[in-house]
Structure 1
Amino acid sequence: MLKINDLQVNYGGISAVKGINIHVPEKSIVTLIGANGAGKSTTLRAIAGLVKAKSGEIAFQGENILGMDTIDIVAKGITLVPEGRRVFANLSVLENLKIGAYLQKDGIEEQILKVYDLFPRLKERSWQLAGTLSGGEQQMLAVGRALMAKPKLIMMDEPSLGLAPLIVNGIFDIIKEINKLGTTILLIEQNANKALKVADYGYVLETGNITMEGKGLDLLQDERVKEAYLGTSKAK
């Protein structure tokens, strides 16, 4: 569904992404793991058209979308759940969801009901201001808002960041459920253990370069990944 070829992105005068290649098959979950500053978020922002790539190709369903405006990329079927949730704090849950559907001409109410089925808590709080929700509820809302655009590919940037362990488990259950319903997912996640367990395929990004790739469960068992990102090694 998504093929990234030799993508290079400069960010703030720094070469943040240095010619990476990533393939995201349809209906799969693909994850990018790596330390802070590795270039993960910059990659997603380049795909979404939020930062300008220096060179390379981003092909979505066979069409090069590099250089397209973000609104056109969303219309093609790609949405982003940003790091830090970024909900509209002074608007209600329902209003936030409707903003996510700003390109949709019909079926909006039906899509809202689908989001509520996935997140019953949001239905309970539909008229509550988003800024008064808990961190976990705001993350649900950010995902729900992205789903309102009826994406073919949803990108998630650190969905578990700052959440309690029990809430994190729930978020990953939702990620699996969204994928099961047919949506392709490209996931960035500091919790490498959780990410690799749900991912069909994974890439390790270090200082703008892909240093390892493979099936999620294979990377989970790799000693280099264990030592660098999972806090375990042979010595233990």
Structure 2
Amino acid sequence: MLSIKNLSVHYGGIHALHGISLDVPAGQIVTLIGANGAGKSTTLNSIMGLVKADGGSVSWNGQEILGAKTKTIVESGIVLVPEGRRVFPNLSIDENLTLGAYARHNKAEIEADREHVFSLFPRLKERHKQKAGTLSGGEQQMLAVGRALMSKPKVLMMDEPSLGLAPLIVGMIFDIIRKINEEGVTVLLVEQNAKAALEVANTGYVMETGSISFSGSGKELLADDRVRKAYLGEM
């Protein structure tokens, strides 16, 4: 289990996270929803060691990882698909996937996982020699997820995977999230598309201005009037 307790973060004079606590049980999909600036991305970046926390705890299977190097966190099994994809535009699909496996050494296993990524995203296999910068937004998102899977994560954290994508591609990305989870990978999902996120989630947390306002199962939050009015556009 990934467990966050009383996590606090400041950016200069801005108090970005106000002592938040949440749990990500093994094998589940957990989602954070909330408006822009609520602190969702900061939460993921703090877990990864990309943003320095002021206090609190981030434990992974009982081991404290807050303050650990990002490389160590990745090697422990926690991987982030960042907002905006962040693929290497001048490198090919194959080269981007290879970089995802930089901490691994068993070539046979790496190649098997590359083929698994191609089975999830056949479009990437068709274009595997193509430079990532020439891909569409949807294809780049597929590559960003595939690159993360090449590190063989136990927990896959995803920051706004549907942002800027056509509805058809969004549906496909969420289908892949379900499939990845069914294969045994725990998922922590940050997503502005609250309906799609809660439909796949076992548990959801609602963030507002750096705090967790409330939480519940995905189904409970979909039926909650506060969520429906604030995030689903219903009155």
TM-score, with structure 1 as normaliser: 0.98
Matched residue SS, 2:43: helix
- Residue in 2 aligned with 1:145? 147
Q: C-alpha distance in 2, partners of 1:109/1:31?
A: 31
Is 2:125 the partner of 1:123? yes
- Residue in 2 aligned with 1:40? 40
| Deviation of the 1:11 alpha carbon | 2.1
| Deviation of the 1:108 alpha carbon | 1.1
Code of the aligned partner of 2:215: E
Code of the aligned partner of 2:199: K
- Residue in 2 aligned with 1:209? 211
Matched residue SS, 1:160: coil
Pick from 211, 224, 227 the counterpart of residue 226 of structure 2.
224
Q: Over residues 61-90 of structure 1, what are the superposed CA-to-partner deviations in whole Å (9 max), with x where a residue is unaligned? A: 110100000000000000000000000000
| Deviation of the 1:10 alpha carbon | 1.1
- Residue in 2 aligned with 1:163? 165
- Residue in 2 aligned with 1:178? 180
Matched residue SS, 1:155: strand
Matched residue SS, 2:46: helix
- Residue in 1 aligned with 2:55? 55
Q: C-alpha distance in 1, partners of 2:145/2:123?
A: 13
- Residue in 2 aligned with 1:114? 116
| Deviation of the 1:49 alpha carbon | 0.6
- Residue in 1 aligned with 2:30? 30
**Aligned-residue RMSD, C-alpha:** 0.6
Structure 2 gaps of 5+ residues are none
Which structure 1 residue ranges, 4+ long, deviate > 4 Å from structure 2?
none
| Deviation of the 1:38 alpha carbon | 0.3
Matched residue SS, 1:30: strand
Q: 1:65 to 1:122 in 2, by over 3 A?
A: same
| Deviation of the 1:13 alpha carbon | 3.1
- Residue in 2 aligned with 1:132? 134
| Deviation of the 1:110 alpha carbon | 1.1
Count of equivalent residues: 233
TM-score, with structure 2 as normaliser: 0.98
Code of the aligned partner of 1:69: K
Q: C-alpha distance in 1, partners of 2:81/2:3?
A: 20
Q: Over residues 156-180 of structure 1, what are the superposed CA-to-partner deviations in whole Å (9 max), with x where a residue is unaligned? A: 0000000001110000000000000
Q: C-alpha distance in 2, partners of 1:51/1:105?
A: 28
Is 2:66 the partner of 1:66? yes
| Deviation of the 1:131 alpha carbon | 0.5
Structure 1 gaps of 5+ residues are none
Is 2:191 the partner of 1:189? yes
Q: C-alpha distance in 2, partners of 1:120/1:157?
A: 23
